[in-house]
Chain A
């Protein structure tokens, strides 16, 4: 009886000593960066740096696997930085850099692991092989580790080109596609752990693989992996929060759409016996859209606030802004529809799949077909 009465413990008590150690390590890291670079940071950037500590500590506490992931990213990134030793030319000279953890190599490893993970998930799904599903899961984690390491190292490399050129690598289409792969994979992995079911990985990773295909084409056909200096409009601390928030939104909407596809497949009798129950997929779809909607709302508001500082007004009906509104309205409608039981599961699933098309147009189509102020990534 006492057992019953004492659970659940308050949040802080559920935090283990490794959690505290993690938080302390984050604080120390941020403190070191602060001490080292404080003169180069604006007040807002300092706030972003300090704010990152509780944000990531909370994330690590809330979802435990984030801790080893972040530690791994930190170790690999710091190792890469030590190998560079301030000389960009070592990228081609040091074995580890050239083939493993220079930004380009690490991102290529991310791409490789994501494709392999997709295949593995499909083998697992079709052959009902728990081992293959488990392998898919591990490879996705590895891909995330390599991808984030790649972005971290790229951040450092940009400063090696020239301190004036250095910037966070979320500034062009190439970089945000990497971010998209990582965020989408992570959101999927969260639900995979939460619902203890791996079969949906086969579907969700399809959209990630499509993004990987784009990255490869963009790299080998367009040499888009080159680090470019920032145009003046992008030189702002807002980028550090606006872009990630947006991509959490895009990633979550993608996961929701792929859950929609899975739902539709299962409800039509395709792979039904191999997939989780329909309610599970409906639930994940709803949760992903909820998370996506909140973050997309935040991202759009941050974008409006940035626009008020850079473009002269918080809302200019620029194509990107307008399409962000359309995406927002679309998911607002979805959430309302679900609330009133007006339509049933399959219709919601179709709507979520359609939502991905709208989202993709807002993300890519606007850049490709419409001109406007927000043309930072062109094809």
Chain B
């Protein structure tokens, strides 16, 4: 590991010396460390649109040219790594012969002059004959595990040359070869082959979102590709014979030598509700369709088949089938349509308010929610199997049942997202069907609560809602209300008529715009100082008139209306709130989930990494090498025996406290050994 400081006129030799010098190695280690930081600060492998959004078009291009979106595969980064490999190899090439020589040599030809120059030396006088001393010293050194060689000297004396810990030099060779092996193994498993093909124009990435079988051969990698790492998502009951490899802003299709089918995906849970296991029951078929094997893969338990490892990587919905009731919200109909939907596909919806497209985006068979407050926003992105802390479980957590999510896109292409729960949810002692809406993905869902009626269905609310939209029924309900309101006293037809008219007007205003419209009406018609009082009166009348409206609607439908009282009162109030919220709900329909057939999908990662064994071999060498280098100290010891005296000299590759201690021990021992 000596560094050459001698500068020769030969340029190439200087360059060679620079590359194999320790300073260059240290600089390289530092440069790699700093370069590596970039990739951890800038999130790697994101869609290019995200980067454009983050940096603006100018910096986006600069960073793209620098390869910062995939630093670890950028040409310049690989170049630095190549320098490391070259530099380390040269180091080994340059130092190994010397190391091996040093390891073997006893330096038994050390001259008296050089021994006299040692810092760690001591001389002793002895009356014992040289041969007797030699015998003692040799025995002593052997006991202390020194390897030694004895040479007679010209002056009739002896030189015992001993060494210990020479194996630490082997550690140098091991550790540095290990780095080369690991880098080569890593390169084999990297994307170098594709890179080369790309440069030669033989392959190019696909950026279009097209079905896999339409991807042209130029963007496909053959089954003979020695190393790859790709992903594929397979719904239950389906199969795949390719994986996708994300590269830059596109992808490649890697053909597989077999077909991978997912029979079933299942999640096990802890008693606290956190996921315990993600398992996929898979089957492998040969290209001609013969079943080769069935297996289960789960996190930490991949299946290795034909040199390809199959990992459980993620999961999601694979196209669950949903049976729905579509309730028209702005027509006087009180019966729903039947409808079906499949997650990840869409359905057309023709309504009085125009044509819509329903895009079913997700389904969850259960939702564990912290109850007691409004449900937090839910996202239905592909849930990652890996990483993530278990959520704080336990207190107040409750499964509130299945939910599904969809986007409703109008003719102009504007979309809102909805999240509807299948089961009613109890809030403050009353039951509601919950439907969440948001107009942008980064917003939380705002929930409309549809109240359940006396028979625990939506029928009552929907009848009331339909009745609001029916002018005759509104008028009739207003009549009924006016009659009961003024019931007991002397009949005043004029007054009753007036009350009925104003009630009908109020119902109409409410039916066309909810509480907001009513509020605007009051603001416009009532003097400012009386507005609060008027609002209270109007609300009271609205509630009572709505109750009449509900009675009317229930009578018509042959259903029993809720008996007057607290329950009915809350039902009416909740219904009015829900009805009023419909004006900000943004959809002409409410989709109620009545039945589902869950189909899950499982995301697999498939890898072929032939360099792995090389990397592991390198790793083993690395550990052994480093341990030898750091824990074994190389020392040399000479005993120069002359008639009448002995010289002890010691040297070490690196002076240390341990070495000083050892020298003191040995000089004390020699002192004892030279006496009689």
The answer to the question of B32 belonging to the interface, with a C-beta cut-off of 8 Å to chain A, is: yes
Q: How far is the CA of A226 from the CA of B274 in the complex (A)?
A: 14
Once the chains bind, are A322 and B1 in contact (CB under 8 Å)?
Answer: no
The answer to the question of B298 belonging to the interface, with a C-beta cut-off of 8 Å to chain A, is: yes
Once the chains bind, are A340 and B607 in contact (CB under 8 Å)?
Answer: no
Chain B residue at minimal CB-CB distance from A330: B33
List 3 tightest A-B contacts by C-beta distance, closest first: A312-B605, A290-B630, A232-B299
- Closest Cβ of chain A to B664, distance in Å, is 14
Known pairs A4-B673, A339-B22; A313 contacts B609 (CB<8 A): yes
Q: How far is the CA of A235 from the CA of B136 in the complex (A)?
A: 59
18 additional contacts, CB 8 Å, given A231-B390, A313-B609?
A: A6-B143, A162-B270, A229-B390, A232-B385, A233-B300, A233-B386, A233-B387, A283-B656, A304-B619, A310-B386, A311-B311, A314-B609, A322-B39, A329-B30, A336-B25, A336-B26, A340-B3, A342-B23
The answer to the question of A346 belonging to the interface, with a C-beta cut-off of 8 Å to chain B, is: no
Once the chains bind, are B271 and A164 in contact (CB under 8 Å)?
Answer: yes
Q: How far is the CA of A272 from the CA of B217 in the complex (A)?
A: 73
The answer to the question of B445 belonging to the interface, with a C-beta cut-off of 8 Å to chain A, is: no
CB neighbours of B36 from chain A (8 A): 322, 325-326, 329
Once the chains bind, are B278 and A232 in contact (CB under 8 Å)?
Answer: yes
CB neighbours of B278 from chain A (8 A): 232
Indicate which residue in B26, B272, B605, B630 contacts A294 across the interface (CB closer than 8 Å).
Answer: B630
Chain B residue at minimal CB-CB distance from A306: B300
Once the chains bind, are B607 and A294 in contact (CB under 8 Å)?
Answer: no
Once the chains bind, are B300 and A235 in contact (CB under 8 Å)?
Answer: yes
Indicate which residue in A6, A165, A339 contacts B654 across the interface (CB closer than 8 Å).
Answer: A339
Chain A residue at minimal CB-CB distance from B72: A317
Q: How far is the CA of A10 from the CA of B282 in the complex (A)?
A: 56
Q: How far is the CA of A370 from the CA of B388 in the complex (A)?
A: 13
- Closest Cβ of chain B to A164, distance in Å, is 6
CB neighbours of B274 from chain A (8 A): 228-229, 231
CB neighbours of A29 from chain B (8 A): none
Once the chains bind, are B22 and A336 in contact (CB under 8 Å)?
Answer: yes
Q: List 21 contacting pairs A-B, 8 Å CB cutoff, sorted by A.
A: A3-B672, A4-B672, A4-B673, A162-B270, A172-B389, A231-B390, A232-B299, A283-B657, A290-B631, A293-B626, A294-B623, A294-B627, A297-B623, A309-B302, A311-B311, A312-B311, A312-B313, A330-B33, A339-B22, A370-B41, A377-B389
Once the chains bind, are B229 and A313 in contact (CB under 8 Å)?
Answer: yes
Chain A residue at minimal CB-CB distance from B656: A283
Indicate which residue in B298, B607, B627 contacts A232 across the interface (CB closer than 8 Å).
Answer: B298
CB neighbours of A322 from chain B (8 A): 36-37, 39-40, 72
Once the chains bind, are B622 and A297 in contact (CB under 8 Å)?
Answer: yes
Once the chains bind, are B1 and A319 in contact (CB under 8 Å)?
Answer: no
The answer to the question of B186 belonging to the interface, with a C-beta cut-off of 8 Å to chain A, is: yes
- Closest Cβ of chain B to A18, distance in Å, is 25
CB neighbours of B622 from chain A (8 A): 297, 301
Indicate which residue in A232, A329, A332, A374 contacts B300 across the interface (CB closer than 8 Å).
Answer: A232
- B131-183: which have CB < 8 Å to A? 136, 139-140, 143-144
Q: How far is the CA of A355 from the CA of B675 in the complex (A)?
A: 51
CB neighbours of A332 from chain B (8 A): 29
- A300-348: which have CB < 8 Å to B? 301, 304-305, 308-315, 317, 319, 322-323, 325-326, 329-330, 332-333, 335-337, 339-340, 342
Question: Chain A, 276-297, contact with B by CB distance < 8 Å: what is the 0/1 string?
Answer: 0001100100100010011001
Question: Chain B, 297-339, contact with A by CB distance < 8 Å: what is the 0/1 string?
Answer: 0111110000001010100000000000000000000000000
**How many B residues touch the partner, as a band?**
35 or more
Q: How far is the CA of A312 from the CA of B606 in the complex (A)?
A: 7
CB neighbours of A313 from chain B (8 A): 189, 229, 607, 609
Known pairs A322-B39, A325-B36; A229 contacts B272 (CB<8 A): yes
Question: Chain B, 68-88, contact with A by CB distance < 8 Å: what is the 0/1 string?
Answer: 000110000000000000000
- Closest Cβ of chain A to B362, distance in Å, is 21
CB neighbours of B33 from chain A (8 A): 325-326, 329-330, 333
- Closest Cβ of chain B to A319, distance in Å, is 4
The answer to the question of B472 belonging to the interface, with a C-beta cut-off of 8 Å to chain A, is: no
Once the chains bind, are B313 and A162 in contact (CB under 8 Å)?
Answer: no
Q: How far is the CA of A322 from the CA of B29 in the complex (A)?
A: 13
The answer to the question of A89 belonging to the interface, with a C-beta cut-off of 8 Å to chain B, is: no
The answer to the question of A375 belonging to the interface, with a C-beta cut-off of 8 Å to chain B, is: yes
Once the chains bind, are B186 and A373 in contact (CB under 8 Å)?
Answer: no
Indicate which residue in B29, B189, B300 contacts A310 across the interface (CB closer than 8 Å).
Answer: B300
Question: Chain A, 335-379, contact with B by CB distance < 8 Å: what is the 0/1 string?
Answer: 111011010000000000000000000000010001111111110
The answer to the question of A211 belonging to the interface, with a C-beta cut-off of 8 Å to chain B, is: no
Chain B residue at minimal CB-CB distance from A341: B654
CB neighbours of A377 from chain B (8 A): 389
Once the chains bind, are B299 and A301 in contact (CB under 8 Å)?
Answer: no
**How many A residues touch the partner, as a band?**
35 or more
- Closest Cβ of chain B to A368, distance in Å, is 13
The answer to the question of A134 belonging to the interface, with a C-beta cut-off of 8 Å to chain B, is: no
Known pairs A231-B389, A325-B36; A371 contacts B43 (CB<8 A): yes
CB neighbours of A308 from chain B (8 A): 309, 609, 612
The answer to the question of B266 belonging to the interface, with a C-beta cut-off of 8 Å to chain A, is: no
Once the chains bind, are A372 and B387 in contact (CB under 8 Å)?
Answer: yes
CB neighbours of B656 from chain A (8 A): 283, 286
The answer to the question of A35 belonging to the interface, with a C-beta cut-off of 8 Å to chain B, is: no
The answer to the question of A7 belonging to the interface, with a C-beta cut-off of 8 Å to chain B, is: yes
The answer to the question of A129 belonging to the interface, with a C-beta cut-off of 8 Å to chain B, is: no
Q: How far is the CA of A162 from the CA of B276 in the complex (A)?
A: 13
The answer to the question of A5 belonging to the interface, with a C-beta cut-off of 8 Å to chain B, is: yes
CB neighbours of B657 from chain A (8 A): 279-280, 283
Q: How far is the CA of A228 from the CA of B276 in the complex (A)?
A: 11
Chain B residue at minimal CB-CB distance from A6: B143
Once the chains bind, are A298 and B623 in contact (CB under 8 Å)?
Answer: yes
Chain B residue at minimal CB-CB distance from A323: B40
The answer to the question of A8 belonging to the interface, with a C-beta cut-off of 8 Å to chain B, is: yes
Q: How far is the CA of A333 from the CA of B622 in the complex (A)?
A: 15
Once the chains bind, are A312 and B302 in contact (CB under 8 Å)?
Answer: yes
CB neighbours of A165 from chain B (8 A): 270-272
Once the chains bind, are A337 and B26 in contact (CB under 8 Å)?
Answer: yes
- Closest Cβ of chain B to A311, distance in Å, is 6
CB neighbours of B537 from chain A (8 A): none
Q: How far is the CA of A375 from the CA of B673 in the complex (A)?
A: 62
The answer to the question of A236 belonging to the interface, with a C-beta cut-off of 8 Å to chain B, is: yes
- Closest Cβ of chain B to A219, distance in Å, is 15
Q: How far is the CA of A374 from the CA of B388 in the complex (A)?
A: 8
Indicate which residue in A164, A226, A236, A310 contacts B276 across the interface (CB closer than 8 Å).
Answer: A164
The answer to the question of A196 belonging to the interface, with a C-beta cut-off of 8 Å to chain B, is: no
Once the chains bind, are B616 and A374 in contact (CB under 8 Å)?
Answer: no
The answer to the question of B57 belonging to the interface, with a C-beta cut-off of 8 Å to chain A, is: no
Once the chains bind, are A317 and B39 in contact (CB under 8 Å)?
Answer: yes
Once the chains bind, are B140 and A312 in contact (CB under 8 Å)?
Answer: no
Once the chains bind, are A333 and B299 in contact (CB under 8 Å)?
Answer: no
- Closest Cβ of chain B to A229, distance in Å, is 4
Once the chains bind, are B29 and A301 in contact (CB under 8 Å)?
Answer: no
CB neighbours of B26 from chain A (8 A): 333, 336-337, 342
The answer to the question of B216 belonging to the interface, with a C-beta cut-off of 8 Å to chain A, is: no
Q: How far is the CA of A129 from the CA of B358 in the complex (A)?
A: 80
- A205-233: which have CB < 8 Å to B? 226, 228-233
Q: How far is the CA of A371 from the CA of B630 in the complex (A)?
A: 35
CB neighbours of A279 from chain B (8 A): 657
Once the chains bind, are A301 and B140 in contact (CB under 8 Å)?
Answer: no
Q: How far is the CA of A235 from the CA of B140 in the complex (A)?
A: 54
The answer to the question of A1 belonging to the interface, with a C-beta cut-off of 8 Å to chain B, is: yes
Once the chains bind, are A236 and B30 in contact (CB under 8 Å)?
Answer: no
- Closest Cβ of chain B to A323, distance in Å, is 6
- A138-195: which have CB < 8 Å to B? 162, 164-165, 172
CB neighbours of B44 from chain A (8 A): 317
CB neighbours of B619 from chain A (8 A): 301, 304
The answer to the question of B615 belonging to the interface, with a C-beta cut-off of 8 Å to chain A, is: yes
Chain A residue at minimal CB-CB distance from B606: A312
CB neighbours of A330 from chain B (8 A): 29, 33
Chain A residue at minimal CB-CB distance from B670: A4
Known pairs A162-B270, A165-B270, A317-B72; A233 contacts B40 (CB<8 A): no
